[in-house]
Chain A
Amino acid sequence: MRLRCELNRKFEPLGHHIGPDEFPLVPRMSDQAIEDIRDVDLPAIAHKLLVIDDDTVHRMVLARVAKQAGYETDLAPNYETACRLLVENTYACITVDLSLGEHGGLEVFQVLAQAHFDAPIIVVSGSDDAVREEALVVARRLKLNICGCFAKPINLSRLRELLWEIQKRQVVGLTPRGA
């Protein structure tokens, strides 16, 4: 019970522990709350994470980091594959690249909104700040649960920490809501 109270009470802006290329979107847990969930066991069956990125290299890297954070991953190199996988599977978290060749991440946002997808979404993009900020505005309008936004090249340790935190929060039933 103390853990749950602590998690609910000690949210604070994430901004103080992320770099300038990332957006402070997830309410940050206190150090004590993080310490409390450190020993929470990951689920016996790994949560699934969908990586949507048109770059093979980034898909490989994101899948590796997600695996280290305890996720099983599916990979979508394009909009069509992403749509199919979203219909066929249930995901605990998604990473979305904003540039997907012919289609953009915003089209993926539309699909997610139509499906009332409310699990955490992490935006990973090599586009400039203005494009990323505009995408976040759209995502908020669509009431998507954007929990992080990373510029490429990605800060991998920050991403792993965020995935780890999301995973642990999900285990104790406190899936984060993006600000």
Chain B
Amino acid sequence: MTDAPAADLAPAEPTADAVLPILDPSAIDEFVEEVGNDAAARTLATYLSEAERRLASLRALAADQREAIHVEAHTLKGSSGLFGLLRLSTAACRLERAAATMTADAYRSMRNDLEAIHLESRSALLTYLKQMRGVVALEGANG
């Protein structure tokens, strides 16, 4: 893998992503409504642990392990989209699409971007989970 030209260093469309919300509340509300509070809490906890495992896997991959990067990014795109994590899903989609041709530097940049967005997404999801558990506890006390 050769070093990237300067133009490859910046991830594509960074400003477009910035306007996307980290968490789309309507998407996650819809998810919780569909599967129920308990299943939603279990699934979200699994998602968080899986997402971290996939990011660790991406950290261990070199840019020329293109197929493996594509698979990890594809899965991260799909699962984060399920919970309305729009910015993360979009960043994962960008990495998935770039996987076949990107340079090592472009990969590093996109991966760092992905990790930073994941931290924000994780924080938003944990806040949501706490609120949800509060609501469940409240409903239990009233019921």
Q: Hey, which bits of chain A sit against chain B, CB under 8 A?
A: 54-58, 60-61, 64-65, 68, 99, 101, 126-127, 152-154, 156-157, 160
Q: Which of A55, A56, A65, A152 contacts B35 (CB 8 A)?
A: A65
Evaluate contact between B79 and A156: CB separation under 8 angstroms: no
Choose the segment among B41-49, B115-123, B124-132 that binds chain A (4+ C-beta atoms closer than 8 Å).
B41-49
Query: A57-B47, A57-B50, A61-B43 known; A156 and B78 CB under 8 Å?
Result: no
Could you list 6 A-B pairs, sorted by A, with CB under 8 Å? Answer: A55-B75, A57-B82, A58-B79, A60-B39, A60-B42, A152-B78
| Cα distance A125–B88 in the bound complex, in angstroms | 18
Q: Which of A54, A65, A68, A157 contacts B75 (CB 8 A)?
A: A54
- Considering the complex, give the chain B residue whose CB is closest to the CB of A67: B39
Q: Which of B30, B39, B47 contacts A64 (CB 8 A)?
A: B39
Main secondary structure of the interface of B (DSSP, over half): helix
**Interchain residue pairs A-B with the least CB separation, the first 4:** A126-B78, A153-B81, A152-B78, A156-B34
Interface size on B, residues (CB 8 A): 21
Known: A58-B78, A61-B43. 4 other contacts (CB 8 A): A68-B35, A126-B74, A156-B35, A157-B30
Q: How far is the CB of B136 from chain A (nearest CB, A)?
A: 17
Q: How far is the CB of A96 from chain B (nearest CB, A)?
A: 14
Evaluate contact between B77 and A126: CB separation under 8 angstroms: yes
Evaluate contact between B74 and A61: CB separation under 8 angstroms: no
Write out the residue numbers on chain A whose beta carbons fall within 8 Å of the beta carbon of B71. 99, 101
Q: Which of B31, B46, B50, B74 contacts A99 (CB 8 A)?
A: B74
Query: A56-B46, A126-B74 known; A154 and B82 CB under 8 Å?
Result: yes
| Cα distance A60–B78 in the bound complex, in angstroms | 13
- Find residues 34-64 in chain B having any chain A CB closer than 8 Å to their own CB: 34-36, 39, 42-43, 46-47, 50
Q: How far is the CB of B7 from chain A (nearest CB, A)?
A: 25
Evaluate contact between A153 and B78: CB separation under 8 angstroms: yes
Write out the residue numbers on chain B whose beta carbons fall within 8 Å of the beta carbon of A65. 34-35
Write out the residue numbers on chain A whose beta carbons fall within 8 Å of the beta carbon of B74. 99, 126-127
Write out the residue numbers on chain B whose beta carbons fall within 8 Å of the beta carbon of A154. 82
| Cα distance A170–B42 in the bound complex, in angstroms | 31
Evaluate contact between B50 and A56: CB separation under 8 angstroms: yes
